[in-house]
Amino acid sequence: MERTFVMIKPDGVQRRLVGKVIERIEQSGLKIVAMKFMRVSTELASKHYEMHKGKSFYDGLIKYITSGPVVAMVIEGENAIAKIRKLVGATDPQDAAPGTIRGDFAQHIGRNIIHASDGEETAKREISLWFENEELVDYEMIDEQWIYE
């Protein structure tokens, strides 16, 4: 089982898409192990996006992510990292396939609704950046035998 970090960005919250996004994650069989609704500080935003520091879109990105509340989550499942990236779709919604979250709900790369970790190392780093260990809840889903063979 793998864990990944997912965040519904301020535009997702403002456009009242929280329920629809979480529905897609839940119905795919993945499991929520942590979730919080929060305003992101500039400090957290700059740590989260430190790899993009210096790029042309960086300042706008920090402003966007700190502009309103977000929903931060940790999601667990088999190949959860890749699976969620597929559900999310390409970074630029203009390239994101229909059926993906960005493809169905977004128009512009600077307002693309959702973040998801892009690999094992990133997932580890982001989960520990956004959540305390005790905020991650260990539990079993009652339908696990119907989700995994």
The secondary structure of residue 78, as a DSSP letter, is: T
Question: Residue 117's binding partner, choosing from Mg ion, ligand IDP, none, with beta-carbon cut-off 5 to 8 A by kind?
Answer: none
Among 38, 47, 57, 128, binds ligand IDP (CB under 6 A): 57
Q: Which is nearer to ligand IDP, 122 or 141 (CB)?
A: 122
Q: Contacts by 136-145 with C-beta closer than 8 Å and gap 24+? A: 136/3, 136/33, 136/34, 136/74, 137/33, 137/34, 138/33, 139/33, 141/31
CA-closest candidate to residue 7, choices 46, 41, 36:
36
Which residues ranging from 84 to 123 are in contact with Mg ion (CB under 5 A)?
118
Report, as residue numbers or ranges, the catalytic residues: 115
> Tokens 């535009």 sit at which residue?
11
94 to 113, contacts with ligand IDP by CB under 6 A? 109-110, 112
Size of the site for ligand IDP (CB under 6 A): 9
Residue 119 lies near ligand IDP (rule: CB under 6 A)? no
Decide the pairing of beta strands 2-8 and 114-116. Answer: antiparallel
To ligand IDP, the closest distance from the beta carbon of 115 in angstroms equals 5
Q: Which residues bind ligand IDP (CB under 6 A)?
A: 52, 57, 61, 91, 109-110, 112, 115, 118
